[in-house]
Structure 1
């Protein structure tokens, strides 16, 4: 069954920054998609109400997110993002899409953008120390939502739903 992945779209400069970081730190052989902030990991592509409700939910202004932390995981690194507007939007979409959510998508959102994964713990620690030395919190703007068709590897853009400007 075909499925959708739903991500938050960021302003062009922020997307370029995170993509550059991902190109630099993510293992090239495993880096099949751009840097992204996933809102929902798997929704049925054959359910028209998902797109219909999404189109209505994005009728809202763009909003700021605070890039608050550079987090190290055992085998990777991610930037943590914070926003009350994002949490409210995610919760509203969870309510709209409740019948189709997998357990992972029912959980509270932990917004992050992974720039390194699938590396040794040692390599993750080294990269984290290097990046953390100069990290300062900063803001980025959320500009919309993107829906991707999952193709068991790369993703194919299925739709963009911009916020009001």
Structure 2
């Protein structure tokens, strides 16, 4: 019986690149970070998503390039406003590069149906979510045609998107 690698395993085995494409406007309003932000608690670098920062910074230290592109509707949802506020603490602090693409600028792009992580241009981890943004599962895929679709989609979004430092949610 083959044991599926955990998400941490996938990052640990990654050697060159980890690409993440997010296309939802809501990822579950029950997350502790969102609830705390919504209730007015400030972000704390030592406690806010510290395990994520540690995981990503370890990969970056090994020479892995970690890029995240987010396609967002405007005006942005409260959840996207939260993500934008958290990005310096939860993403940039670990060494990720983050860019934002307003959805109206994505109309001419061919995109997969689900968010994904693409590791070393060889393995995809699709993430599945309910209508209200709660995670419902994931699937690994190494089909070369699907890998090519996801890589092409990610690069097209990256090319059109705006760096986090320049993006102002509306």
Greater RCO, 1 or 2 (C-alpha within 8 Å, sep 6+): 1
For the aligned pair, the TM-score class normalised by the smaller chain equals under 0.3
TM-score when normalising by structure 2: 0.26
The structure with more strand, counted as a fraction of residues = 1
